[in-house]
Amino acid sequence: MANRDRLKDIAPFVASVEHGSFTAAAEYLHLTSSAISKSVARLEERLGSRLFERTTRRLALTDAGQAFYETCTRVLGELAEAESVLAAQRSIPVGRLRIAVPNTFGRLQVMPLINQFCLQNPEMQISLAFSDRFVDLFEEGVDIAIRIGGSTNFPPSLGFRFLGNERLIFCASPDYLRQHGTPASLQELTERRAIVYDRVDGSTGPWHIVSPDGRTVTRTMSYRMALGEGEAQVSAVVAGLGVAQMATWLLDKALASGALVPILPELAVDGLPLYVVWPRRKQLMPKVDALLTALAELKISP
């Protein structure tokens, strides 16, 4: 069946839901009640599911009908926004955007850009979810997400932009170094008690070290504290409890203020890659395009 034949039954179905009856839908679409009824019947036959519980007073959606209605309204909304870009060349972004960002990176690096974006685009409604778990954009209805690490083999349905790699450095507080001395070599550094990241699976984040042959290898460290939150890890290092290897984007303020200082900067290495990803079919929407442009300002500290 041609796509246009599939689409022509959608409008009568959606109108029937939103106006409460075939008669009201017919008046709205300037069709007959019989035409609306036949259109919905064709749709139910093609889908193999009953969409309405028909009563004498009002149409009521079945569970399948409710799910299909939500899909239809989303698709119709996306079509309308795409047409506004291609036909009307609308430049003012409006509507809702659902964004997913990693917890700490989202608060420290993304939130300031989102605040500025909202000030510049008062007609936008932003829903911002903070989570370190993998987010499936299609299943969860997310418009734009930022990912740290994970697979970089993106499917054709996803658009993506590489933001850069984290830069991992070793650091400690000035007080810690005055009390315990500044390590002069990798060997001395690895003998110190570390402040490490505590992963959800119960393991700890290893240190990334360049081996003599130039490869970056990982080493699980003996630790004084394992913390499952990046800002808490920074706080412990600032308090002088040990040394750590962390991403520079997490350390910007502490390094700038002198609360932390780098150790053996020549041992700095690249960490995980960061990407902005989005459903490719949404890229023509003004609201998505505008936020992607704003997120292009997101810089990963060198």
| Mean pLDDT (whole number) for 125-146 | 91
For the cut 70, the answer to whether the pLDDT of residue 298 exceeds it is: yes
The dihedrals phi and psi of 203, each to the nearest 5 degrees, come to -85, 170
Q: What is the pLDDT of residues 24-40, one digit of tens each?
A: 999 999 999 999 999 99
Q: Report the predicted TM-score, pTM, of the whole model to 2 decimal places.
A: 0.66
| Mean pLDDT (whole number) for 190-213 | 86
| Domain ranges within the chain, ordered by starting residue | 3-86, 95-164+273-295, 166-271
pLDDT for the residue 89: 46
Neighbour tally for 66: CB within 10 Å: 13
| Mean pLDDT (whole number) for 61-88 | 79
Give the residues across from 171 on adjacent strands.
Answer: 244, 262
Reported confidence tier of residue 81, pLDDT bands at 50, 70, 90: low
pLDDT for the residue 63: 92
Contacts 24+ apart (CB under 8 A), 230-234: 230/103, 230/104, 230/105, 230/197, 231/104, 231/107, 231/108, 233/195, 233/196, 233/197, 234/260
Q: What is the mean pLDDT of the chain?
A: 88
Q: What is the pLDDT of residues 266-289, one digit of tens each?
A: 999 998 999 999 998 888 788 888
Helices (H), the chain: 3-8, 10-19, 22-29, 33-47, 63-86, 103-105, 111-120, 137-140, 174-180, 186-190, 230-238, 248-257, 286-295
Question: Of the ranges 85-99, 137-151, 198-212, which is most confident?
Answer: 137-151
pLDDT for the residue 88: 44
For the cut 90, the answer to whether the pLDDT of residue 216 exceeds it is: no
pLDDT for the residue 91: 60
Reported confidence tier of residue 86, pLDDT bands at 50, 70, 90: low
Share above pLDDT 70 across residues of the chain, in percent, rounded to a whole number? 92
Same fold, 95-164+273-295 and 166-271: yes
pLDDT for the residue 94: 78
Q: Check: CB of residue 163 under 8 Å from CB of residue 276.
A: yes
For the cut 90, the answer to whether the pLDDT of residue 93 exceeds it is: no
Query: In angstroms, rounded to a whole number, what is the distance separating the alpha carbons of residues 186 and 1?
Result: 67
Reported confidence tier of residue 76, pLDDT bands at 50, 70, 90: confident
3-86 adopts what CATH topology? Arc Repressor Mutant, subunit A (1.10.10)
Give the residues across from 128 on adjacent strands.
Answer: 99
Q: What is the pLDDT of residues 230-246, one digit of tens each?
A: 999 999 999 999 999 99
Considering the domain 95-164+273-295 in this protein, what is its CATH number? 3.40.190.10
pLDDT for the residue 299: 73
Q: What is the pLDDT of residues 159-171, one digit of tens each?
A: 999 998 999 999 9
Considering the domain 166-271 in this protein, what is its CATH number? 3.40.190.290
